Every structure is written in structure tokens, then in C-alpha cells.
Amino acid sequence: MSLKLRHWIFLIIIASLVLAVDQISKNIIQHNMYLGQSIEIINPVFAITYSENSGASFGFLPQAGDIFLVLAFTIVIGLFIFFPRIPQSAVLTRIGIALVCGGALGNAIDRLAHGAVIDFIHYQIPGVVSNVSNLADHAIVIGVILILIDSWRSEGKKKEAKLAEASAIIDAPETPEEQEKTAL
């Protein structure tokens, strides 16, 4: 099996796992809780709260659901087009893209099936923030972070290579002509 084919299989497996775990968790919440119900897990910072979100990840822009549906499919298509161009060494980028694709598709399925995204992971810092999200949102965020880390590491390696190259040029032995000029 070719390396490229293995990369594609890896992408499909990771994205499918994210999608499956996301959809199963949302299904469990939908069938065992009523909308608005909250079960405190770690009072007051973490609860399981069933809510529906017509906006973006973490509840942003609640009236823009259709735009986010189109955006999700556009991003997934774009990532699939970009995927073959990823360097062999960019493992974190491959994982990140798979997480983003799985999460985006999970939320897109919710929008198509329910008209809104099912959220239930409720983090709170009293008086500061209260946010309800889902596993797809978290997969997207973790995926983007992994892509950024890999990009940052890659840039660092490129800079090191340029410095090493410049150092090699400076430290290169002199040609016989240069040695004669230096000796005079």
C-alpha cells in the first residue's frame, strides 16, 4: 500500500471516529435529557447541559446557522484539496486536519438533521464566562491548535536550516586564491 493511500486512510479513520463519537454523544444527550436540563458535575465550573445552538462553535453568531453549514462543507472540501500537499513530516497537521474535518462534519450533520447543533459540554467561570459546546467543537479547536503547532515547528526548522547553511558558507575553507591573498 502506498504512503499516500495510508495518509488518506488515516484521515478518513480519524475523521470518522471523531464524527461517530460526536454523533453518539449527542444522540445520548438528546434521548436522555430534555432541552435546557443541566446536571452539575463539578459545581460550579462543569456541567452537562442540553442545549441547541444555531450559530458557530461555542455559541457565537446564533443567527448565522446556514452560513456556517456552507462554511463547514467548504472548509472540509478545502482541507481535502490541501491534504495531498502536506509534507511527509507534518504528522500533527494531518491529525489536525482529520480532527477539523470530523468536527465540522459532525456539526454540519446536526444542522441538516435538527436545524441546530446539539451542545452539552458546559464550562463555567462564574461571573466571567458560561459556555456550552460539544465534542465536535473541541475536535475543531484541538485540530487547529495542532496545525498551528506543526506550522510553528516547521518554521523553526526552516530558520535553523537557513542559519546552518549560512554558517556553512561562512565557515567554508578558503580557495587557494583566497589563501594567497590572506597570506600577503
**Residues classed as catalytic:** 119, 137
Q: What end-to-end distance do the CA atoms of the chain give, in Å? A: 63
Q: Out of 20-29, 67-76, 144-153, 162-171, which region has the weakest mean confidence (pLDDT)?
A: 162-171
Segment of 30-39, 123-132, 159-168 carrying the highest mean pLDDT:
30-39
pLDDT digits (tens, 9 = 90+) for 49-95: 999 987 655 555 656 667 777 888 898 899 888 888 898 889 999 99
pLDDT tops 90 at residue 28: yes
pLDDT tops 70 at residue 22: yes
Q: How confident is the model at residue 167 (pLDDT cuts 50, 70, 90)?
A: low
Number of residues assigned to the chain = 184
The whole model's pTM is what?
Answer: 0.79
What cell numbers appear for 86 in the block? 502536506
What are the residue ranges spanned by the domains of the chain?
3-183
